Amino acid sequence: MIREAEPKDSNVIENLYKKLAPHSKNIKVLPERIEQIRNDSNNFLFVYEEDCKVKGSIFMTFCLDPGYQFRPYTVLEYVIVNEDFRGNGIGEKLLKHVEQLSIARGSTRIILLSSTTRIEAHKFFAKNGYNGTISKGFKKYIPIH
């Protein structure tokens, strides 16, 4: 079942994120931040839960787009399924869920960034209709002071 994350999910989500970025020492998922996301109409943090276990997560943001009248675009981050549960359709269900919400909001496109080292994830995204060759993404991390 896909549901919005709740503050009580912070530890399990944090553990998933640490698997995405094992070298980052700054990952900390706060219950208060999850509550803030829940109260924001443009940001959504979803989890896939089955048998009382959170098995995957996805974060989506609707961004204002100045180029397409009042239509937004969607950005996805933190797309992850626990390694023990991959290959069972969980990631596909999470993607379909956010795609349906994006269509309902009138999004013009979905932007998804993935680490260059996650080759299997890239294959998964391509299999689900995401084109990794039409754009090139750049990130610049800002140091925490």
pLDDT at 23: 84
Do the domain assignments include residue 133? no
* pTM, rounded to two decimals: 0.93
Rg for the chain, CA atoms, rounded: 15
pLDDT (tens digit per residue) in 87-143: 999 999 999 999 999 999 999 999 998 988 899 999 999 999 999 999 988 888 888
CATH of the domain at 77: 3.40.630.30
How many domains, in total, are found in the chain? 1
Do the domain assignments include residue 26? yes
pLDDT at 143: 84
Range of the domain at 56: 2-127
Do the domain assignments include residue 136? no
Do the domain assignments include residue 142? no
* Spatial CA neighbour of 7 closest among 43, 42, 47: 47
pLDDT at 108: 97
pLDDT (tens digit per residue) in 25-49: 889 999 999 999 999 999 999 999 9
pLDDT (tens digit per residue) in 48-99: 999 999 999 999 999 999 999 999 999 999 999 999 999 999 999 999 999 9
- Cβ atoms of 76 and 110 closer than 8 Å: yes
Do the domain assignments include residue 69? yes
Do the domain assignments include residue 139? no
If you write DSSP's letter for every residue of the chain in order, what string do you get? -EEE--GGGHHHHHHHHHHHSTT-S-----HHHHHHHHT-TTEEEEEEEETTEEEEEEEEEEE--TTSTT--EEEEEEEEE-GGGTTSSHHHHHHHHHHHHHHHHT-S-EEE---TT-HHHHHHHHHTT--SSS------PPPP-
The CA-to-CA distance between both ends of the chain, in Å, stands at: 39
